[in-house]
């Protein structure tokens, strides 16, 4: 059974965030989605667009989280936490956040994109040209890199998709080169637009 069919079955063919039934798509929850049912949700175009474009968020649309935040699906809980955190200045989202419980693993997942951190506290990852890197971006290696602890060499020009960011060090990102998840130093990468 395809991922889309599994998600449609789990969600009864409704957006798992706002219950819309039109324009539904798979949304892989960053930063390190593997495209499985556990790290993906079925969401409508409106929800996906507002998740990916923070400057276009309509706070009233997200009142739907009052219901969907109670989902048993971890990926839905993570997105609910992120959106409520983004909107907490509105007042009502803070009340919902106070009620929302995420276990430690899911809370770490929710915080992995930096949502909820003050701008001054955020660690900003930049590529060799100074372009800001975000979780989920694609990059290309600008130099051959030896992978510590193995005989593998990641070759110059290798594309790495859906990177994740080290939340404690602005110089480190992670990504998959072939089947291997590696840590990459940001001064050796260039963002692919």
Spatial CA neighbour of 77 closest among 106, 40, 52? 106
What tokens does 20 get? 């819309």
Domain with CATH 2.30.30.40 in the chain: 125-191
What gap in Å lies between CA 45 and CA 40, rounded to an integer? Answer: 15
23: alpha, beta or left? (left if phi > 0; alpha if psi -120 to 50) = left
What is the percent of the chain with per-residue pLDDT over 90, rounded to a whole number?
46
pLDDT mean across residues, the chain: 88
Domain made up of 125-191: CATH architecture:
Roll (2.30)
* Secondary structure of residue 86 in the 3-state scheme: helix
Residue 79: the pLDDT is 95
Spatial CA neighbour of 78 closest among 25, 30, 9? 30
Residue 166: the pLDDT is 81
* Secondary structure of residue 40 in the 3-state scheme: strand
CB-based contact 81:97 (threshold 8 Å):
yes
Over residues 130-141, the pLDDT tens digits come to: 888 888 889 999
Over residues 61-103, the pLDDT tens digits come to: 999 999 999 999 999 999 999 999 999 888 899 999 999 999 9
CB-based contact 186:171 (threshold 8 Å):
yes
């Amino acid at each position: 059974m395809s991922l889309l069919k599994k998600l449609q079955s789990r969600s009864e063919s409704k957006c798992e965030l706002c219950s819309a039934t039109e324009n539904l798509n798979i949304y892989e929850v960053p930063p390190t989605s593997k495209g499985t049912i556990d790290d993906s949700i079925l969401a409508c175009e409106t929800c996906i667009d507002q998740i990916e474009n923070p400057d276009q968020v309509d706070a009233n649309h997200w009142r739907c989280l009052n219901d969907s935040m109670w989902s048993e699906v971890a990926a839905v809980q993570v997105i609910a936490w992120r959106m409520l955190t983004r909107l907490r200045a509105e007042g009502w989202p803070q009340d919902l956040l106070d009620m929302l419980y995420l276990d430690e693993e899911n809370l770490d997942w929710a915080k992995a994109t930096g949502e909820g951190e003050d701008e001054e506290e955020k660690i900003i990852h930049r590529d060799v040209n100074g372009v800001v890197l975000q979780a989920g971006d694609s990059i290309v290696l600008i130099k051959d890199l030896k992978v510590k602890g193995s005989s593998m060499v990641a070759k110059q020009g290798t594309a790495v998709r859906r990177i994740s960011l080290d939340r404690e060090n602005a110089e480190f990102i992670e990504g998959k080169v072939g089947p291997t998840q590696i840590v990459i130093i940001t001064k050796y990468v260039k963002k692919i637009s």
